[in-house]
Amino acid sequence: MDDSRISINYRTLPELLAYQDKLTPDLPFILFGDRRVSYDQFDRATNRLARGFKELGVKKGQVVSIYALNCPEYVMTWFALNKLGAIMGPINAAFKAAEVSYVLADSEAVAVVASPELAETLEAAAGQCPLLKERIYLGDEAVSGSLLLNQLMEGKADTALTDELVEPGDIASFIYTSGTTGRPKGVQLSHWNYIIDAANAADVFPLFTGDVIMMILPLFHVNAQLATVMVPLIIGGTVAMLQTFNPASFWEAVEKYRPVTFSAVPTILAILLDAPGADSADYRSLRYVICGAAPLPVSLFNQFEEKFGLHILEGYGLTEGTCVSSLNPYYGVRKIGSIGLPLRGQQMVIMNDQGKILETDQYGEICIKGPNVMQGYYKNEKATAETILDGWLHTGDVGHVDDDGYFWIVDRIKEMIIRGGENIYPREIEEVLYRHPKVAEAAVIGHPSEKYGEIVKAVIVLKPGTEANEDEIRDYCKANIAGFKVPAVVVFREQIPKTQTGKIAKKILKQQEEELG
């Protein structure tokens, strides 16, 4: 990192926190409602909590899950565990009891920290997990047989533990994927994975000491962890944390916290276009918006920038690559519709099925190599070997690279539709549909056909107060794409299912459409 503006003087998360605490002890690290937690207060709180977990019997290498909504204690728990050499195991707050039980059992969690709002689900799940020793709740009211997080901290010294050796290669977290291709898999990320990816992201984000970054995504998602915890921590910034994303109060929060940026997914940007309060809000503090996790339709990109006058920095990454692998630069050429340039220290290439690296403008699989690549899937050597080949992380995404080194994502390999031998990428059709003035949301999937094997089906949500029929949508597509790509089936729905992080849940959508016929 010779010409980087970020100097790495730490190799583990505890070292990073201690380093930043010495530099900016009194600056706020987390703002949450009316709470203000300085760097020094945060460091001391995590020391007390680490001692509490140790006294509880948590050891290095053991997993403590977190099943909670965003709050300062979520991040405190994460760093306290890492100070012990233990592993944070975030669980999707939308998971139901069977899903929670699976993650707890598969990760062999010895304890779980949870929001009281999720107690009913957790209690139903915990009985199926014999290795789970403790249920620890946030707040002031414990469920029968459980503990409170505050109790772990009471009476503990706020000085750092000195007898715990934490190495850069030690696992910091298990993050379970959404399970779009079967059971969720536990992605193992090391301390160094987090630090190097965050440092390289901070190097290209226009952020400086004291800047406020607003967190609107859930902390069980690697995007929130990396872009809105780790990056601010590295640059001495402040995290303005929202418990959940609420479009009705979003602009009020912007006025209150004065953030310079926030990290979002395309669905959130679409919601904000029509969210109340924007016309009267003072959002002059915002300089730009970071967007990733799912492809951003070009029409939505243009609408958002035109309405709010904010640059969108579209990037690309995945949990297995510790979040960020490429980004459109703030200073320099932005190519709208692309996922930008690879971050420092990462290699990104396009490969064919035989593992050959392809030339520019040839379609193939996006593959990544670098210190950001995960340590593997927990207890799943087969899936790890299928995903990481010769050090290359195979993303499952189809894309191409242009002459300037900018990468462009086309679609997921597994979502490709094969119609009579022709490969069709849903995203290309979705981009066309999003340009239709009456279309609010669109998702394209394959539909069984005796003649072609598969045909194209478009699921449409119309904008409020508009009407359209199948012929209108198909005629619009005919004018913009080849005939074999035009949706043979067009259906209109009130909503399209999404994950809690705002991605269109195509697996669920396909199941729903199969049931509807």
Task: Determine the average pLDDT of the residues in 271-293.
Answer: 91
Q: Which range (282-291, 305-314, 412-421) has the least confidence? A: 412-421
Read off the amino acid at residue 15: E
Greatest C-alpha distance within the chain: 72
DSSP 350: E
Report the CATH number that the domain containing residue 58 is assigned in CATH: 3.40.50.980
Task: Determine the average pLDDT of the residues in 375-403.
Answer: 96
Q: Could you tell me if residue 92 is inside a domain?
A: yes
**Same domain (yes/no): 72, 59:** yes
What is the tens place of the pLDDT at every residue in 418-430? 888 788 889 889 9
d(CA 485, CA 245): 36
**Same domain (yes/no): 263, 311:** yes
Q: Which of 44-53, 123-132, 286-295, 499-508 is predicted most confidently?
A: 44-53
Q: Which residue has the tokens 């945060």?
A: 42
Percentage helix, strand, coil, to 5, in the chain? Answer: 35, 25, 40
Q: For position 1, what pLDDT does the model report? A: 39
**Same domain (yes/no): 474, 392:** no
Q: Could you tell me if residue 26 is inside a domain?
A: no
pLDDT surpasses 70 at 2: no
What is the tens place of the pLDDT at every residue in 332-355? 899 999 999 999 999 999 999 999
**Same domain (yes/no): 320, 342:** yes
pLDDT surpasses 70 at 4: no
- Give the domain-ending residue among 358, 378, 412: 412
Residue with more model confidence, 9 or 46: 46
pLDDT surpasses 60 at 256: yes
Q: Could you tell me if residue 404 is inside a domain?
A: yes
Range of the domain at 454: 416-516
**Same domain (yes/no): 243, 378:** yes
Task: Determine the average pLDDT of the residues in 492-507.
Answer: 86
Confidence of residue 254 (pLDDT cuts 50, 70, 90): very high
Q: Which range (149-153, 254-258, 502-506) has the least confidence? A: 502-506
Read off the amino acid at residue 141: E
Using alpha carbons, list the distances in angstroms from residue 60 to 46, 48, 87, 158, 171: 16, 17, 8, 20, 10
Percent of the chain with pLDDT over 70: 98
Report the CATH number that the domain containing residue 232 is assigned in CATH: 3.40.50.12780
Task: Please give the tally of structural domains in the chain.
Answer: 3
Report the CATH number that the domain containing residue 441 is assigned in CATH: 3.30.300.30
**Same domain (yes/no): 260, 234:** yes
Q: Could you tell me if residue 129 is inside a domain?
A: yes
> In a 10 Å sphere around its CB, with 0-12 CB exposed, 13-18 middle and 19+ buried, how is residue 298 labelled?
middle
Q: Could you tell me if residue 122 is inside a domain?
A: yes
d(CA 391, CA 69): 35
pLDDT surpasses 70 at 165: yes
- Give the domain-ending residue among 365, 397, 412: 412
**Same domain (yes/no): 363, 262:** yes
d(CA 510, CA 426): 13
Please count the CA atoms within 13 angstroms of the CA of 15 that sit on its side-chain side. Answer: 14
**Same domain (yes/no): 352, 440:** no
Q: Could you tell me if residue 469 is inside a domain?
A: yes
**Same domain (yes/no): 353, 427:** no
pLDDT surpasses 70 at 314: yes
d(CA 193, CA 373): 7
**Same domain (yes/no): 52, 153:** yes
**Same domain (yes/no): 364, 352:** yes
pLDDT surpasses 50 at 98: yes
**Same domain (yes/no): 277, 388:** yes
- Give the domain-ending residue among 166, 182, 213: 166
Task: Determine the average pLDDT of the residues in 116-122.
Answer: 96
Phi, psi of 281 (to 5 degrees): -80, 150
Percent of the chain with pLDDT over 90: 78
Q: Is 420 left (phi over 0), alpha (psi -120 to 50) or beta?
A: left
Residue with more model confidence, 498 or 60: 60
Task: Determine the average pLDDT of the residues in 225-254.
Answer: 96
SS3 428: helix
Q: Could you tell me if residue 33 is inside a domain?
A: no
Tally of CB atoms within 10 A around 294? 17
Strand partners, 89: 65
Q: Could you tell me if residue 27 is inside a domain?
A: no
